[in-house]
Amino acid sequence: MKVLDLRCAHEHAFEGWFSGEEDFQDQLRRGLLQCPVCGAAQVRKVLSAPRINRGAAAAAEPAAAAVEGVSDTPAPGRSAPGVPVPLQAALLQWARQAMAQSEDVGERFAQEARSIHRGDSPERPIRGQASAAETLELLQEGIPVLALPPSATDTLH
């Protein structure tokens, strides 16, 4: 298993776990790599210090945190500029839980949110896509929504 330090176009630092360099290049070519913080698809390798595991317990801990090739926590001491590593990890964990507990309504998000708000559809947690204008309209109508960066949700599955 090869652990690479990666950065997105917005300089968010994270780790990727790959079977080798060829696996990394293949995933990069196919557009499968995205920043777990912002969802940016422009990802690059950065210099990293070698990692030496000194025992089975040390090796098992990072492997347990790996999800779809991306670690839940950025490398120690690394974070998005101005965002503490523990906060970044907690936000990522919260976002994954929100994804698991909500229904994806896709591009019908604004329409479905209004329908739930009016009582025309059953109340339930939903997620999907809405433009910035649609999101603002929903908020102005008193419909609570939380906007996430584009395609950030794709990396959370």
Is residue 23 located within the same domain as residue 65?
yes
Counted domains in the chain: 2
> Is 83 within a domain?
no
Put simply, whether the predicted model's pTM sits higher than 0.85 gets the answer: no
Is residue 121 located within the same domain as residue 65?
no
Enclosing domain of residue 110: 102-155
Question: Which helix (H) or strand (E) covers residue 2, if one does?
Answer: strand 2-8
3-state helix, strand, coil in the chain (%, to 5): 35, 15, 45
- What is the per-residue pLDDT for 53? 59
> Is 87 within a domain?
no
In whole angstroms, give the CA distance from residue 143 to residue 154.
24
Query: Looking at residues 20-42, what average pLDDT do you find?
Result: 87
Sheet holding 2-8, edge to edge: 43-45, 2-8, 13-18, 70-71, 66-67
| Lookup result for tokens 């994954």 | 96
- What is the per-residue pLDDT for 92? 78
Structure-derived torsion over alpha carbons of residues 138, 144, 150, 153, reported in degrees to the nearest 10: -140
Q: Select the more confidently predicted residue: 31 or 91.
A: 31
Give the residue among 73, 39, 45, 50 at the shortest CA–CA distance from 156.
Answer: 39
Residue 105: pLDDT band (50, 70, 90) is very high
Report the helix count and the strand count for the chain, using DSSP H and E: 5, 7
